[in-house]
Amino acid sequence: MEGKRDEAEPIATAAFKDDQSSARNASIWIDTLASGTAVADIEAQLPPELTASADIQLHLGLRARENGDDAGHLAYAEAALRIEPDDWRMMSSVAEALVQPLAAVEALGITHEIPGPLRKDVDRAIRLMQSAWTKLVEQDSSFQGRHVAANLISLLGMLGRDIEAEKILDQALLANPDYAAYGIFEARRLAANGDWVAAAKMLDSLPESELPFDAFLLRTHAAFQMKDAQAAIAWSNKLGVAEGADVPPAERIELVEAMQVQAAILGGVERDTAVTAAIEKNPNSIVVRSILFDGLAQDDPLRDRLVSEIEALAQSELSVRERMHAAETLYVSGHYSMAADLYAPLHQKTDNFALQRRLQAFEPCRSPGRGSQIVRVPSA
């Protein structure tokens, strides 16, 4: 009766009342209570000997998280870990609680910039996930905890620890090759290495119902790289209804529209007419111009127009995504000084992508067209 709490709750309650010494019965009862039930009220109904159980503390923490109580989630998870310090589930739960604040960081998938106050917690979360994953592998239980590796790979990638992330991904794929999250990571790796055909095949092998927005975006970009107009049109249309985008609604609409226009041009729609119409529809959009710029040939005169308009628009207040789109377009078009200025607020002192780009933009000597050789792996 998973997902049907109203039906499961009476049965779970009866089982719990029948045997209040059973941590398993209590855990099921906690999980089936109505959404929003106060955790303090749940805990008050538990016998003291059960609250000393790591499993109970774990489930109380999950209910706190569901209720939006991040501090409570962490407190219960920490209590569970103190009781069972060698249990991978408790390690993973604390790690997930420690990184929960990252969900509120704007455009983290673009900047990969972990705010200073959160870095200590993120570093600890990684250590806990590494320990949990090691135990899962040793116990031959990696399927049960496959999400642990996915979370670990994601965090390592954010910190630029790519070699470690790839090692975990290789282990994870070997153990669970059909897990969609691993397949998406592998597709991104293939795309980053320039193997767009393999990246597309990997994504095509996964159930679409398990693909987040970023995966649809990557698959659409792969179609562009392969000059596959039919796939570009199909996937850009799917992108419009994909779920899970960490993008403000207005910017998402602009992103999707630009990808669909680019796909239509690849499919034979007259380029100048389509680009002009898209710009007129989105007169203040850096995102639309940046994406359309990516689809134009290097000698296309429209590129100069788009760059000039992006330069003008970039003088105003920008979101993180707008700033990154503007900086990237200016960088690849050779406008290094302004690109460097735009990258500057996107990094602190850490060696993230924005800092690397800023330092590259400061280099005084460049071969012709150097910037335009870069292929971006898209991220929402």
Residue owning tokens 């000597």 = 365
Compute the C-alpha angle 305/309/315, nearest 5°: 155
Residue ranges of domains in the chain, CATH in brackets: 5-193 (1.25.40.10), 247-373 (1.25.40)
The pLDDT of 135-147, averaged and rounded, is 93
pLDDT in tens, 297-335: 889 999 999 999 999 999 999 988 899 899 999 999 999
Distance CA 130, CA 88 (A): 10
Q: Residue 376 pLDDT more than 70?
A: no
Q: What is the 3-state secondary structure (H, E, C) of the chain?
A: CCCCHHHHHHHHHHHHHHCCCCHHHHHHHHHHCCCCCCHHHHHHCCCHHHHCCHHHHHHHHHHHHHCCCHHHHHHHHHHHHHHCCCCHHHHHHHHHHHHHHHHHCCCHHHHCCCCHHHHHHHHHHHHHHHHHHHHHHHCCCCCCCHHHHHHHHHHHHHCCCHHHHHHHHHHHHHHCCCCHHHHHHHHHHHHHCCCHHHHHHHHHCCCHHHCCHHHHHHHHHHHHHCCCHHHHHHHHHHHCCCCCCCCCHHHHHHHHHHHHHHHHHHCCCCHHHHHHHHHHHCCCCHHHHHHHHHCCCCCCCHHHHHHHHHHHHCCCCCCHHHHHHHHHHHHHCCCHHHHHHHHHHHCCCCCCHHHHHHHHHHCCCCCCCCHHHCCCCCCC
Q: Residue 202 pLDDT more than 80?
A: yes
pLDDT in tens, 237-246: 999 888 876 7
Distance CA 363, CA 141 (A): 49
Q: Are 94 and 112 in contact (CB under 8 A)?
A: no
pLDDT in tens, 213-236: 999 999 999 999 999 999 999 999
Q: Residue 74 pLDDT more than 50?
A: yes
Q: Which pLDDT score is estimated for 348?
A: 55
Q: Which pLDDT score is estimated for 3?
A: 55
Q: Which pLDDT score is estimated for 336?
A: 87
Which has more confidence, 8 or 175?
A: 175
Which has more confidence, 242 or 263?
A: 263
The pLDDT of 102-131, averaged and rounded, is 88
Q: Which pLDDT score is estimated for 189?
A: 96
pLDDT in tens, 148-197: 999 999 999 888 788 999 999 999 999 999 999 999 999 999 999 999 99
Q: Which pLDDT score is estimated for 377?
A: 53
Q: Which pLDDT score is estimated for 54?
A: 96
Instruction: Output the average pLDDT for the chain.
Output: 88
